[in-house]
Amino acid sequence: MAGSLIKVSSNTITGSPGSVTLTGIDDNSIYLLTVNNLLQSVGTQVVYRFTESGTDYTGANYGKSGRRITSAGSATDAGDAATITWMFLDSTLGSTVGYNAQYYICNANNSSMETSIIGRHIDGGGSYRKMTGNGVLKRNSAVDGISVLAFSGTPGGGTFTSGEINLYKIK
């Protein structure tokens, strides 16, 4: 059926992982990543990496841009030309108010194109913030998944305590 979601991979967080990896991207469909009520005990930000053959790509070929709006009424641009791990800035997590996000992943499994992601998140780490933006892996490769990492000094250096992360194929 056109316009339907097919769940590809899911993780309900238990324990204290520093990262969650969802794989299963196997064609050139558009995929939807959802993050629901993500909490962490240690760490300050959520960062993302694409995976190739199930392994995080850590090269300095990521780019990102976006716009953040806070509950205090400020709005600023956020972006980097190239970073080791791209992230939407100001995604500070609290331990009692969840982080929620929706991201669309495009051209992921096409090894002759760059993989891009576009979406938004809302978090409540101190003051509510909304971020809308996009990211790109600026190299041609076949991406098969995405990792969500708790950033505290290093990607995966923090810990998640609860939440649910899902990857869907859009048909």
pLDDT at residue 39, rounded to an integer:
86
Return the higher-pLDDT residue of 171 and 40: 171
Q: What is the CATH number of domain 5-170?
A: 2.60.120
For 108, counting Cβ atoms within 10 Å of its Cβ (0-12 exposed, 13-18 middle, 19+ buried), the class is buried
Mean pLDDT of the chain: 84
Return the higher-pLDDT residue of 79 and 59: 59
Q: Does 99 have pLDDT greater than 70?
A: yes
Q: What is the mean pLDDT of residues 73-85?
A: 70
pLDDT at residue 83, rounded to an integer:
63
pLDDT at residue 94, rounded to an integer:
62
pLDDT (tens digit per residue) in 124-151: 655 566 777 888 898 899 999 999 988 8
pLDDT (tens digit per residue) in 5-49: 999 999 999 999 999 999 999 999 999 999 998 888 765 678 899
| Strand positions, DSSP E, 24-158 | 30-42, 45-52, 55-56, 62-70, 75-83, 99-106, 115-123, 129-137, 145-151
> Residue 3 — left, alpha, or beta (φ > 0 → left; ψ -120 to 50 → alpha)?
left
Is pTM beyond 0.95? Reply is no
Domain residue ranges of the chain, discontinuous segments joined by +: 5-170
What's the gap between Cα 152 and its chain centre? 16
pLDDT at residue 20, rounded to an integer:
96
pLDDT at residue 109, rounded to an integer:
93
Q: Does 90 have pLDDT greater than 60?
A: no
83 phi and psi angles, rounded to 5 deg: -140, 165
What is the percent of the chain with per-residue pLDDT over 90, rounded to a whole number? 45
pLDDT at residue 95, rounded to an integer:
66
Q: What is the mean pLDDT of residues 63-69?
A: 80
